[in-house]
Chains A and B, each alone.
Chain A
Amino acid sequence: GAGVSQTPSNKVTEKGKYVELRCDPISGHTALYWYRQSLGQGPEFLIYFQGTGAADDSGLPNDRFFAVRPEGSVSTLKIQRTERGDSAVYLCASSLKAGGLGSPLHFGNGTRLTVT
């Protein structure tokens, strides 16, 4: 079936602007994660959802970052007052559930965000 889908694939914005990044997880996956990957680094955890609620947002760098998943499927990562340091690839991943056997992460292709 279809994998994790992220849109847009690329986003260029000016410093100070607001952006929204969308993630459509694999159908039936209850857990959804956002990671950020800077050039030459491994992905860094931001937030995860179990169903509609943000179960753990401890990785969000500051209050300019916010994410929602209102119906327990599609999620949107929102970044206010973007800064050049926010430039990175934002990866979304989903898994069947948040723990237990047989629930590996499946990543999307990511959104490359460039803040000029």
Chain B
Amino acid sequence: GENVEQHPSTLSVQEGDSAVIKCTYSDSASNYFPWYKQELGKRPQLIIDIRSNVGEKKDQRIAVTLNKTAKHFSLHITETQPEDSAVYFCAASIGPSNTGKLIFGQGTTLQVKP
């Protein structure tokens, strides 16, 4: 079945450093790849998304890159701040036609030390 692998499971960085989280997916029909941030006890919130016809997308300190051939995509956070500390989930659409039917990775717990 479809699968999304996410690494690392935990990541600790110093404030101001960069953080990179990587995901691979198995379904070659996936064409939508969102990233969600979830703080403890709260809802997952979309932080950035990318579609398969785009290789890279940037929004201020956050960027996502996609390599469709290799079936992997990555989240890059630059100049990290303590408020970036949270669990981050990558996801891939299950099939090409529904951007809401997603398979999620296992999550990465990011800790930014002041």
Q: How many A-B residue pairs have CB under 8 A?
A: 66
**Residues of A in contact, count (CB < 8 Å):** 26
Identify whether the interface residues of A are mostly helix, strand, loop, or mixed: loop
A41 close to chain B: CB less than 8 A: yes
**What's the least CB distance linking B69 to chain A, in Å?**
23
Q: Are B44 and A91 in contact (CB under 8 A)?
A: yes
**What's the least CB distance linking B4 to chain A, in Å?**
8
CB contact list, B11-36 vs A, under 8 A? 34, 36
Instruction: Please tell me which one of the listed residues B4, B34, B107 contacts residue A104 in the complex, with CB atoms under 8 A apart.
Output: B34
Quick one: given A91-B44, A104-B34, A105-B46, are A43 and B98 in contact (CB under 8 Å)? no
Give 8 nearest A-B pairs by CB, closest first: A42-B104, A107-B43, A109-B43, A95-B100, A42-B89, A104-B46, A107-B44, A98-B98
Residues of B within 8 A of A (CB): 4, 6, 34, 36, 42-46, 49, 51, 89, 91, 94, 97-107
